[in-house]
Amino acid sequence: MHLTMLCPSNTNTLTHSSMSQFHKLNPFKSHIPSIITKPSTSNPVHSSIINKPGSVNPPTNFTNLLSFSAKTKNLCLGQTIHASILINGSFNNTPSILNSLINMYSKCSQIQTARFLFDNSFTKDDISYNSIISAYAKLATKNSYKQVFNLLINMHRFGFSFSDYTLSTVLNVCSSCGYVDDYNNHFCFGKMIHGIGIKFGLDFNVVVGTALLDMYAKNDCLRDAIRVFEGFDLKNKNDFMYNAMIAGFLRGGLCCENAQEAIRVFNEMRRMGVKCSKFTFSSIVKACIGVGDFEVGRQIHGQILRNGLQDDEFVGSSLVEMYSFFGDVDDGLRCFELTPKLDVVSWTSMISGCVRNGKFENALSLFYRFLVDGRKVDEFIVSSVMGACADMAAARTGEQIQGYALKFGVADFTIVKNTQICMYAKSGDIDSARITFEEAENPDVVSWSVMICSYAQHGFAKEALRLFELMTVSGIEPNHITLLGVLTACSHGGLVDEGFRYYEIMKKDFGIAANVKHSACMVDLLGRAGKLEEAQRLIYDSGFEDDPVLWRALLGACKVRKDTEMGKCIADKVIELEPHDAASYVLLYNLYNDVGKKKHALEVRKLMQDRGVKKEPGISWIEVGNTVHTFLVDDCSHPISELIYSRLGELLAKIKEISFDNEKLPLGIAETECSGTVRMSHHSEKLAVTFGIISLPKSAPVRVMKNLRVCSDCHTTMKLISVVEKREIILRDTIRFHHFKDGLCSCKDYW
C-alpha cells in the first residue's frame, strides 16, 4: 500500500512550507504512516481512502472525508486527512478544502488551528468567512462574540458578499444576551445587521427573517419581532419562523395576552399545513397554561400523540407542567412516567404539582426516587418537598428533607428557610419555626410574613405584633400577606383595639389596600367583641359584600355569640351566594344545635340533602416516627384500633369524673349528623389524639391536624383530656391552631 494511492493525479510536489505548516499543526504526525500503511478493513473510512485508488475526484473525496471527521468529531482522522492533503499539495488551490478543514477543526474544538488556517490562506472565499464566523459563534463566549463582529467587518472590508447564512449567524450572536456589559452593543449591532439585510435585499429571506425576529424577541422588542413576522407572506413562512414567533410570545414570564397570540400563530401554522415539531408543541402546551385553558391543552396533547411526540423530553416536561398546573395530577404522573430523561425542572414541577393538589405522599415518593436516581438536589425541589411536609404536618419527615438540603449545600437558601419555617409552624411546632427564623441569614419579606402569620395561626398575638414592629424598624416593607398576619393575630388573640389601629394605618402608612381576607379578619374581630351589627356594616362598607368569605366569617361570629336570629339571616345570604358549599350549612346546623333548636337543625340537614350538598369527610392525621397516621370518623382500620378505642373509653370516663358541668359534657356526636342518622360517634381528631397519647413519649405534646373546623364537642373533650393526661395537645383545624393546656385553649373558645 503506497501513499500514491491517496494522491490525486495532478500531484504537486510537496513544498517545504506546507510540510512545516503541517508539522506545526499536527501533533499526531507519527500516526500517519501506520494508519495509511496498515489499512483496517473494518473501518469504512480507511478502506474508502485506501481501496479506491482510482477515485475520479480526490478533492471532493477529501471534503467528504473531512466532513465525516467533523461530524464524528474524529480529530485524529481529520488530521490524517489534512496530512494527506498537504502531501498532495492540493491545499492552496482549493477554497473548498480550506473550508472543510476549518469546519473540521472547529467541530473538533480546535478553533486556534482553524483560525491559523484561515489567517494564512490566500484562497479564502465568503464561505471560509462563514465557516470561521459560525465556529466562533458556536463557542458562545464573550471573546468569541467579539471575533464574530470583527470578522464580519473584515468580510465587508475585503469585498466578500454576505449571504443569508452570514447574517443569520451574526444575528443569532446578537440574540445572546449572556453578557450584560455587551448587551446594548449586541442589540445595536443586531439592528445594524437588519439595515444591512435590507440593503442587500435579504430582509425577506426566511432564514434572515427568522433570525431577525428571534433577535428582537430575545431583546425584549416583541413589537419589532411581530413586525418582522407579519412582513412575510403566509406562504413564505416556514416552521422555524413560526416556532421562533411562538417562542417569542412566551418569553419572559407567561402573560395571558401573549399566550393567546402564541396560540393564534399556532393555529395559523396548522391552517397553512406547516409541520409542527417538538419545539412547537412544547411551547404551545406552555401557552395553554398562560391562557389558563385546560381544554385546549388536552386537545394539543391529542395532537402530540397523533404526531408521535409523547416521549420527547421537551414535550413531556411541558405536558407534566401543564397537568400539574391544572391540578390533574394523575394524568401529569402518567406523562411523567412516559417521558425519558426528565430534567430537574420537570421533577420539580411534578412534585410541586402533587403538593399543590394535596398528593403529598406522591410528592415525597417522587422525591425519594429523584434521590435514588443519583440526581443533585436544588433549592427549588427541596422547598417543594418541604412544602409537602408542611401540608402533611410531617415535621420529622421535613427534618429528613432538611438533612438532604444540608448535604447538597442548599439549606441556607432563603427560599428553603422560608418553607422550613412554614413546615415547623404548620406541624404545630412553633418553637422550631422561631429558631429557624432566627437562624435565617437573609430573612426577606416572605420570611418575616411567614413567621408573623405562624404566630397568628397559633394564637400568639403579642409575639406576632412584636415581630411586625421589629420588621418595620428593620426597614423591610411589609406586603399584604404580612398585614394579613397582623390582622389575623389581632383577631385570633382578641386584640380589638390594635386590630382596628392596624386596619386603619395599613393604607396610610404602608400603601396596602384592604382585600377581602383583611376585611374577613376585621369581621371576625368585631364578632369576637360581640359587635355583630358593626361587623355587618363593615361588610357593606368594604366593597366585598358579594363575597361569601365575609358573610361566612360573620356567620361564625353569630355561632360563637349564639345569635340564632341574625345567624339565620346571614346563613340565608351565604347559602344564596354559594348554594353548594357545605361549610355554611354546617355552621348554621351547629348554631341551632348549640342553642338546643334541634328541629331547626334537622331542617338545615334536610335542606342540605335535598340540594345534594355533600360535606367533606372529616380526616385527622398525626405523625408518629416517620409515618403519618390518618383517621376518619369511627375509623377501625388502624392496626391498633382496639387499643385506641379502649383507651379513648377510659379517657372519656375520667373526663366525666372531673367535669363539673354535666350539661356541657362531651356528647360525641355531630360530624355524621349532617350526612346520616344521629348516633354516637367518635370524631377523627379524638382517635388521632388518643393514638398520639398511646404512641408518643409522655413529655411530648400531641400534635394533630384536621381538615375541617373542630366541633364544640371535640374542643371541650380536648381541653379536658389536657387536664386528665397532664399534657399539651395541639390541634390544627381549618381556621387556626388550638393549644390545649391545663383545661384551657389558646383560642379562648373563639374559633
Q: Which residues bind Zn ion (CB under 5 A)?
A: 683, 711, 714, 738, 745, 747
Q: Which residue lies nearer to Zn ion by CB, 66 or 622?
A: 622
Q: Which residue lies nearer to Zn ion by CB, 194 or 492?
A: 492
Q: Which residue lies nearer to Zn ion by CB, 39 or 668?
A: 668
Q: Which residue lies nearer to Zn ion by CB, 323 or 740?
A: 740
Question: Rounded to the nearest 5°, which phi and psi values hold at 175?
Answer: -80, -15
Q: Which residue lies nearer to Zn ion by CB, 615 or 738?
A: 738
- Which grid coordinates are listed for 587? 355552621
- Which grid coordinates are listed for 131? 465557516
Decide: 458 and 701 in contact? Cβ < 8 Å.
no
What is the closest distance, in whole angstroms, from the C-beta atom of residue 713 to Zn ion in the complex? 5
Q: Which amino acid is at 370?
A: F
DSSP 3-state assignment of 125?
Answer: coil
One DSSP character per residue, 543-583 reads T-TT-HHHHHHHHHHHHHHT-HHHHHHHHHHHHHH-TT-HH
What is the closest distance, in whole angstroms, from the C-beta atom of residue 653 to Zn ion in the complex? 18
Show Cβ contacts of residue 674 under 8 Å, excluding neighbours closer than 6 positions: 582, 585, 586, 589, 605, 608, 615
What is the closest distance, in whole angstroms, from the C-beta atom of residue 647 to Zn ion in the complex? 18
Strand (E) positions, 26-82? Answer: none
What is the closest distance, in whole angstroms, from the C-beta atom of residue 749 to Zn ion in the complex? 6
- Which grid coordinates are listed for 99? 473550508
What is the closest distance, in whole angstroms, from the C-beta atom of residue 715 to Zn ion in the complex? 5
Decide: 68 and 81 in contact? Cβ < 8 Å.
no
Strand (E) positions, 599-701? Answer: 619-624, 627-632
What is the closest distance, in whole angstroms, from the C-beta atom of residue 689 to Zn ion in the complex? 11
Q: Which residue lies nearer to Zn ion by CB, 163 or 620?
A: 620
Q: Which residue lies nearer to Zn ion by CB, 64 or 681?
A: 681
Q: How far apart are CA 362 and CA 370, in angstroms?
A: 12
What is the closest distance, in whole angstroms, from the C-beta atom of residue 512 to Zn ion in the complex? 29
What is the closest distance, in whole angstroms, from the C-beta atom of residue 659 to Zn ion in the complex? 17
Q: How far apart are CA 544 and CA 388, in angstroms?
A: 32
Q: How far apart are CA 358 and CA 387, in angstroms?
A: 11
What is the closest distance, in whole angstroms, from the C-beta atom of residue 642 to Zn ion in the complex? 22
Decide: 377 and 408 in contact? Cβ < 8 Å.
yes
Count Cβ atoms below 10 Å from residue 88 Cβ, excluding itself: 21
What is the closest distance, in whole angstroms, from the C-beta atom of residue 658 to Zn ion in the complex? 19
Whole-Å CA distances, 616 to 96, 383, 591, 611, 708 = 76, 29, 19, 15, 8
H or E stretch covering 703: strand 702-706
What is the closest distance, in whole angstroms, from the C-beta atom of residue 612 to Zn ion in the complex? 24
Of 346, 359, 351, residue with least CA distance to 314: 346
Decide: 695 and 665 in contact? Cβ < 8 Å.
no
DSSP 3-state assignment of 705?
Answer: strand
Q: Which residue lies nearer to Zn ion by CB, 421 or 711?
A: 711
Q: How far apart are CA 135 and CA 553, in angstroms?
A: 67
What is the closest distance, in whole angstroms, from the C-beta atom of residue 524 to Zn ion in the complex? 14
Q: Which residue lies nearer to Zn ion by CB, 319 or 708?
A: 708
What is the closest distance, in whole angstroms, from the C-beta atom of residue 718 to Zn ion in the complex? 8
What is the closest distance, in whole angstroms, from the C-beta atom of residue 654 to Zn ion in the complex? 19
Q: Which residue lies nearer to Zn ion by CB, 107 or 738?
A: 738
Q: Which residue lies nearer to Zn ion by CB, 263 or 633?
A: 633
Query: Residue 243 region, left (φ>0) first, then alpha (ψ -120 to 50), else beta?
Result: alpha
Decide: 476 and 448 in contact? Cβ < 8 Å.
yes
Backbone CA torsion sign across 402, 702, 745, 678: positive
Q: How far apart are CA 602 and CA 678, in angstroms?
A: 10
Q: How far apart are CA 207 and CA 215, in angstroms?
A: 12
Show Cβ contacts of residue 635 under 8 Å, excluding neighbours closer than 6 positions: 641, 684, 687
Decide: 179 and 142 in contact? Cβ < 8 Å.
yes
Q: Which residue lies nearer to Zn ion by CB, 335 or 747?
A: 747
What is the closest distance, in whole angstroms, from the C-beta atom of residue 428 to Zn ion in the complex? 13
Of 448, 451, 535, residue with least CA distance to 491: 535
Pairing type for strands 702-706 and 729-732 reads parallel
Q: Which residue lies nearer to Zn ion by CB, 392 or 747?
A: 747
Q: Which residue lies nearer to Zn ion by CB, 359 or 426?
A: 426
Q: Which residue lies nearer to Zn ion by CB, 194 or 683?
A: 683
DSSP 3-state assignment of 174?
Answer: helix
What is the closest distance, in whole angstroms, from the C-beta atom of residue 528 to Zn ion in the complex? 13
Which ranges constitute the DSSP H helices of 339-378? 344-356, 360-372
H or E stretch covering 732: strand 729-732
What is the closest distance, in whole angstroms, from the C-beta atom of residue 721 to Zn ion in the complex? 13
Which ranges constitute the DSSP H helices of 236-328? 239-249, 256-271, 278-291, 294-306, 313-325
Residue with cell 505548516: 21
Q: Which residue lies nearer to Zn ion by CB, 732 or 738?
A: 738
Q: How many residues does the chain have?
A: 751
What is the Cα 305 distance to its own chain's centre? 25
Q: Which residue lies nearer to Zn ion by CB, 83 or 711?
A: 711
Q: Which residue lies nearer to Zn ion by CB, 373 or 663?
A: 663
Decide: 471 and 482 in contact? Cβ < 8 Å.
yes
H or E stretch covering 730: strand 729-732
What is the closest distance, in whole angstroms, from the C-beta atom of residue 487 to Zn ion in the complex? 19
